[in-house]
Amino acid sequence: MISYVTVGADDIAAAKRFYTAFLPALGFGLEEGPEGLSFSLLVDEAQTQVLPDFYVKPPFDGRPASVGNGAMVAFEAQTQQQVRALHAAALAAGGTDEGGPGFRAEYGPRFYVGYLRDPQGNKIALFSSNPAEPGRDG
């Protein structure tokens, strides 16, 4: 099981604007600290911790943050409409489009996805594969 994912950012304020445009709608709460941003799925006290956490931090080595070629973090939305709405919100909050929301022929018939880059250049996917919604062939 993946425990956490971290992406680097040089401008934490820009990263905060971008990620808070969609992560709270997916159930993530934000905790800020001197080391950066920590997003955790919100649970009630009776539940165990839900993983993974998502961190946005300046690199520990003090050098500028850089993006990984081929690296991407995907967040699951509940519906296709939520993918569209959150993709638009993330663009308005400083993200750049890497592929608008829609079905992709190379993936399954229910995989609805939109791709973005955060202000640092990290690649982000917002997707839904809700079986209650029509697929690309329906």
The model's pLDDT over 76-99, given as tens digits with 9 standing for 90+, comes to 999 999 999 999 999 999 999 999
CB atoms within 10 A of CB 74: 12
Instruction: State yes or no: pLDDT of 1 exceeds 80.
Output: no
Q: Which of 45, 117, 127 is nearest to 78 (CA)?
A: 127
| 3.40.1050.10, 3.10.180.10, 3.10.20.30, 3.20.20.70: CATH of 4-59+71-128 | 3.10.180.10
70 — phi, psi (to 5°)?
A: 95, -10
- pLDDT per residue as tens digits for the range 12-67: 999 999 999 999 999 999 999 989 999 999 887 766 667 899 999 999 999 999 99
The answer to whether residues 22 and 86 touch, using CB atoms and an 8 Å cutoff, is yes
CA distance 56 to 13: 11
Residue 36 gets the label, from left (phi > 0), alpha (psi -120 to 50) or beta, of left
Question: What are the domain boundaries of the chain?
Answer: 4-59+71-128
